[in-house]
Amino acid sequence: MISLVIVSHSAKLAAGVHELAAQMAGDQVGISQAGGLSDDGEQLGTDAFRIRSAIEEVWCEDGVLLLMDLGSSVMSAEMALEMLPEQQRQNCLLSNAPLVEGAIVAALHASLGEPLQAVNAVAEAALSTPKLAGTG
Amino acid sequence: MAQEITTKQLRKWLLVYAARIIENEDHLTKLDTAIGDADHGVNMRRGMGKLQERLQVERQSEDISAFLRSVAMTLISGVGGAAGPLYGTFFLRAATSPTNGSSIDLPQLTQMFRYGLDGLQQRGKAQADDKTMIDTIQPAVEAMEAAVAAHQSAAVVLAAARQAAHLGMKHTIEIEARKGRASYLGPHSIGHQDPGATSAYFLFETAAEVLTITGAD
């Protein structure tokens, strides 16, 4: 079963998304979070080292899907992957999914035991899922 | 052409750079308030404070690559915002360029900046004229390469870099942002100088001040 890592500039946002995703997945799916800066979670920002630690916390052979908010989250997540040993890095995937919808969908599908690429595909499809009835 | 730059001089350079950024925090904040999220000054000041602490502690490190890696690590976790991974990558990649151990000659210094620039472009995926720090660093590195190819002295090479960096920074006023938070503003970003290009300019301004002095303490 794959694991999820939630990356956000805000520790509170990361914790909130984690909470929502965990509700979908029960306690079967490993979910970790990296929000805010190292020394003070109240400061907004992303830190590649914190992201690496979050990956290591839930890393498993089935894979780890990273869901990010915006801007430098992506750059920091890329750096974090580069810091990992090759054998760990190849089981990690950066998702293009929107953070909230993506994390919830990914948690649900991960809990069903779907493989990494399949979970990412449904999470990314959340980008084009209309939020309002009768649109899209 | 026996001018060699030592780890000690690079440390001095980055101490002066850190101080220059801290002096300019309000200026950077003002620039970033106009076209960004107003955090570049605060983020850079925080990162530079961490860098100063690290440079005080790491007085003993002689190896240039190890020194640059240590600088990179400090910036990655100390800056926050996009500038953290970007400056971090710049120095991390610079650390992989060839050295003579505890010194580098002028072509190696130029190559160090080139490695940093290439890393930066891979990380941020920005091109020239996207209104980013690339608009400062790329012309500066190209000016250094041209001056080194013409066998100029360190003073001339670094003065050329500084001048090109300054022109590049000023050029960001005229162009529309295509990367980063400022790109959300589209044409409204024209008329404002890019904060990242400005903090990057100080790298070359301080390099020209510090690295030309042989045996600087």
Ordered by start, the domain boundaries in chain A are: 3-128
Contact A71 B86 (CB under 8 A): no
Reduce the DSSP state of residue A6 to 3 states and report it: strand
Q: Please, which residues bridge with residue A68 across strands?
A: A7
Is the CB of residue A48 less than 8 Å away from at least one CB of chain B? Answer: yes
pLDDT for B132 beyond 50: yes
The string of pLDDT tens digits covering residues B170-199 is: 999 999 999 888 898 999 999 999 999 999
| Banded pLDDT at B36 (limits 50, 70, 90) | confident
The CA-to-CA distance between both ends of chain A, in Å, stands at 32
What pLDDT score was predicted for residue A38? 60
Is A9 assigned a catalytic role? yes
Q: Please indicate whether, in this complex, the C-beta atoms of A48 and B85 are within 8 angstroms of each other.
A: yes
Q: Is A16 exposed, middle or buried (0-12, 13-18, 19+ CB in 10 A)?
A: middle
Instruction: Go through the domains of chain B in sequence order and give each one's CATH number.
Output: 4-210 (1.25.40.340)
Among B76, B96, B122, most A C-beta atoms within 10 A, so best to mutate, is B76
Taking an 8 Å cut-off on Cβ atoms, the answer to whether B80 and A79 are in contact is no
C-beta atoms of B180 and A44 within 8 A:
no
* pLDDT tens figures, B158-173: 999 999 999 999 999 9
Find, among A57, A55, A119, A121, the residue nearest to A92 by Cα.
A55
* pLDDT for the residue numbered A127: 86
pTM: 0.88
Closest-approach residue (CA) in chain A for B50: A39
Confidence label for B217 from pLDDT (cuts 50, 70 and 90): very low
Task: Taking residues A1-28, report their average pLDDT.
Answer: 93
Q: What is the pLDDT of residue A26?
A: 82
Say whether pLDDT at A48 is over 80.
yes
Q: Is the per-residue pLDDT at B29 higher than 60? A: yes
**Contact between A18 and A35 (Cβ < 8 Å):** no
**Is the CB of B180 inside 8 Å of chain A's CB atoms?**
yes
**pLDDT, averaged across chain B:** 93
Distance from the Cα of A51 to chain B's closest Cα (Å) equals 11
Radius of gyration of chain B from Cα atoms? 16
Cβ contact A93:A63 at 8 Å: yes
Query: What does the pLDDT look like over A76-115, one tens digit per residue?
Result: 999 999 999 999 999 999 999 999 999 999 999 999 999 9
Q: How far is CA A71 from CA A75, A123, A128, B21, B183, in A?
A: 7, 19, 20, 23, 11
Write out pLDDT tens, residues B44-101.
Answer: 999 999 999 999 887 767 899 999 999 999 999 888 788 999 999 999 999 999 999 9
User: How many C-beta neighbours within 10 Å does residue B57 have?
Assistant: 10
Nearest to B123 among A47, A49, A75 (CB): A75
What ipTM was reported for this prediction?
0.77
Mean pLDDT of B92-114: 96
CATH 3.40.50.510 given to domain A3-128:
yes
Distance CA A26, CA B21 (A): 47
Q: Give which of B79, B82, B89 is closest to B183, Cα–Cα.
A: B82
What is the distance in angstroms between the Cα of A109 and the nearest Cα belonging to chain B? 31
Polymer length in residues for chain B: 217
Task: Calculate helix-pair angle for B40-57, B25-35, nearest 10 degrees.
Answer: 140
In this structure, the dihedral spanned by the alpha carbons of residues B203, B214, B163 and B73, taken in order and rounded to 10 degrees, is -10
The minimum CA-CA distance between B174 and chain A, rounded to whole Å, is 23
Residues of A in contact with B196 (CB under 8 A): none
- Kindly tell me if the per-residue pLDDT of B32 is higher than 60: yes
B57 Cβ contact list (under 8 Å, min separation 6): none
